[in-house]
A and B are shown apart, each in its own frame.
Chain A
Amino acid sequence: AQSVTQLDSQVPVFEEAPVELRCNYSSSVSVYLFWYVQYPNQGLQLLLKYLSGSTLVKGINGFEAEFNKSQTSFHLRKPSVHISDTAEYFCAVSGYSSASKIIFGSGTRLSIRP
């Protein structure tokens, strides 16, 4: 079984500042890792994914994440945020053998201050 922990429920940052949203996972098997984003009044959409290979993955809208197996982390970063990045971000994990079934974290609400 897998689990995901997002330590920060809310992260306020100023526009054009860098941001890091933290995610740690637990699993006894190899995993796929994801970040999904939910803009206000919308469903979730896939931001980026780690399946295998390079541990640094790039997603849409300038976001990137780094898979760290030894620390079981998959933190999301962006060097300079914009007002339009205001959203809730969900880290998620699935096992290789059950890729359909995704376990979501509790979410981090990113609020951007002008």
Chain B
Amino acid sequence: DVKVTQSSRYLVKRTGEKVFLECVQDMDHENMFWYRQDPGLGLRLIYFSYDVKMKEKGDIPEGYSVSREKKERFSLILESASTNQTSMYLCASSLLGADSYEQYFGPGTRLTVT
């Protein structure tokens, strides 16, 4: 079974702190994604990566950056956390190519910024 793990289930940070959210997948997937999930808005793509050291902006990249130094690990960074970044953050991975539409999700990190 594909397994996508996220470093924390719940996280509380203060405004202005630098926040790191870590995601690891164990199935050698090329693609990795970071989404945020908000009630009534569904999932919105923040960033994705299709290879080590490669990244592309999603629909809402402002206030976020990412890092992919190893194929299995994709980190989301909030340089200076703000209260409007309080949300559920979901990481996902998928193969490259014909089966790339099936994404495998981690359990999510619920981040609260106070």
Q: Please judge, given known A-B contacts A42-B107, A43-B106, whether A104 and B42 are in contact too, CB under 8 Å.
A: yes
A51 and chain B: residue at smallest CB distance: B101
Task: Output the least CB separation between A80 and chain B (Å).
Answer: 27
Query: Is the CB–CB distance between A107 and B101 below 8 Å?
Result: no
> Number of B residues whose C-beta is below 8 Å from A?
25
A-B contact pairs, 18 of them (CB 8 A): A32-B101, A42-B108, A43-B92, A43-B105, A43-B106, A44-B90, A45-B104, A45-B105, A49-B101, A99-B101, A100-B31, A100-B48, A100-B94, A100-B100, A101-B48, A102-B103, A106-B41, A107-B40
Q: Which residues of B contact A (CB under 8 A)?
A: 4, 31, 35, 40-45, 48, 50, 90, 92, 94, 96, 98, 100-108
